[in-house]
Amino acid sequence: MITENDVLNSVPAVGFVRSYIDYGMRQTTAPAAYHLAVALSILSTTCPPSYQSPFVGGTAVNLYVLLAGRSGLERKSTALRIGHDLLFHAAPHRIGDQIGSAEGLIDSLAQDGRNRQIISFSEFGKFLASAQRGYFETVKTALTDLWDSRPVQRTLAGNNVIRIEEPRLSCMAACAIPYLEKHTLLEDWTGGFMGRWALMYAKEERSVAYPIADNAGRQDLIDRLADLDAIESHGICRGLTDEAMEYWELWYEKYCSPNVVEDTNVAGLRARLPPIAQKASMLYAWELGIGSGQDDWLMNTELVHFGCLFAQLHLQSSQALASKIAATPDARLRRQVLDVFEKQNKGCNLSLGDVIKGCKLSKRKTTEILDGLVEEGTLRLNMINGKNFYMYGTYDVEDEPTYVRLHRG
């Protein structure tokens, strides 16, 4: 899990992104990682479709970011709202409509001047739940395709075709960990839909009993967004300087090459690190005036460095979250049962009825999972007064509960 110091050391000391993070941290105690993700996401909507990295033949700078944290804490929605408010006052036409269907999403992007926009999901867990039931599955597919910024189209009645040559959709979403645990599997993160989101998983570190909005610098941020959004022509990124290329190759070998020894739970995420790093590098270039100028340019080491650091924050967040995301539906049920034990004191014995009551599963399924956990040694089966009890965790003999020591056969 990433800390605020990690974030503050991972961004340029000057520029829109740093100013935005400082502003956001004055408004709320939401983690700095959330403000970084939102800053880059709203910044991406100000970039013309022609602004892209030469990486892999052309990589657009649209960005999907996901703020993950504990349920009811971390002020995830507040962090989204701060960015949404600034963009609304700077460039309201860049804020997309709430998604009702895949067709509606494409129609919205097809409107004049709306091919680049951002959509905000303050309750992303509800979207995931609906998609799991099948209702939003086509929307997930459309969002997956739009991350790549390739031409999209749909056919209307009478064979009329709506086509968008250069869609540039960015998304920012907030989701509590329990929803991610319940509605996603590891395979969703290593490829497909969830694998395209830059994840920021953090905990609240600061505490303020009575926070008061501090609007110092707010108008400057709005003005900067408006100025960047008004830019229509710009220089072209022709690649990396020699020093930047050397840095990139060393970074790629360390974090992304097939030779990296890695837990298979997050190995698939590494394929997405280079495009995320390139997107962030280009966005830093845009806001610092390098990419948004009129002359062609080369990406320097500093830009590559900060882009790579953003990708590393994503990887660090993903590694921390991987321990909470089940690999299979059965593994999810297994974790649901273990959660019942983890909420109790160490060495506590629970009956079958206690476990069923806590995990809300059927007796048959609960018994099946408990048998497996006992077989693998995760739980220990104790006979107390002729009745089976299950215990999770280990303890020294001298710490063994008295009733277990007296009744253990």
Report the CATH number at residue 389.
1.10.10.10
What's the CA gap between 273 and 403, in Å, rounded? 53
Model confidence band, residue 199 (pLDDT cutoffs 50, 70, 90):
very high
Q: Whole-angstrom distance between the N-terminal and C-terminal Cα of the chain?
A: 44
In angstroms, the CA 14 to CA 158 distance is 54
Query: Are 389 and 240 contained in the same domain?
Result: no
Burial class from Cβ neighbours inside 10 Å (0-12, 13-18, 19+) for residue 88 reads middle
Instruction: State whether 242 and 375 are in the same domain.
Output: no
> Looking at the structure, do residues 15 and 118 belong to the same domain, yes or no?
yes
**Does residue 198 register a pLDDT over 90?**
yes
Assess whether 315 and 338 both reside in one domain: no
What is the per-residue pLDDT across 133-169, written as a single tens digit (0 to 9) for each?
Answer: 777 788 888 998 999 999 998 888 778 889 999 999 9
pLDDT above 80: residue 401: no
Q: Examine the fold and report which residue of 299, 322, 345 is the final residue of a domain before the chain moves on.
A: 322
Q: Are 77 and 124 in contact (CB under 8 A)?
A: no
The tokens of 168 are what? 């540039």
Q: What is the pLDDT of residue 170?
A: 97
Band of pLDDT at residue 263, cut at 50, 70 and 90: low
pLDDT at residue 155, as a whole number: 85
Q: How many domains does the chain have?
A: 2
**Percentage of the chain exceeding pLDDT 90:** 58
Domain boundary among 322, 341, 364: 322
Domain enclosing residue 337, as ranges: 329-407
- Do 31 and 166 lie in a common domain? yes
Q: Is the dihedral of CA 399, 404, 407, 409 positive or negative?
A: negative
- 376/310 same-domain check: no
Q: Indicate yes or no: pTM above 0.75.
A: yes
Average pLDDT over residues 314-343: 83
- Predicted local confidence at residue 406, as pLDDT: 38
211, pLDDT greater than 90: no
Which residues does residue 176 pair with via DSSP β-bridges, in sequence order? 69
Encoded tokens for 115: 């091919």
**Residue-level pLDDT at 183:** 80
Is the same domain home to 253 and 189?
yes
What is residue 262's predicted lDDT score, i.e. its pLDDT? 59
At residue 282, the pLDDT reads 98
Q: What is the pLDDT of residue 405?
A: 41
Higher-pLDDT residue of 326 and 92 is: 92
3-state secondary structure of 199: strand
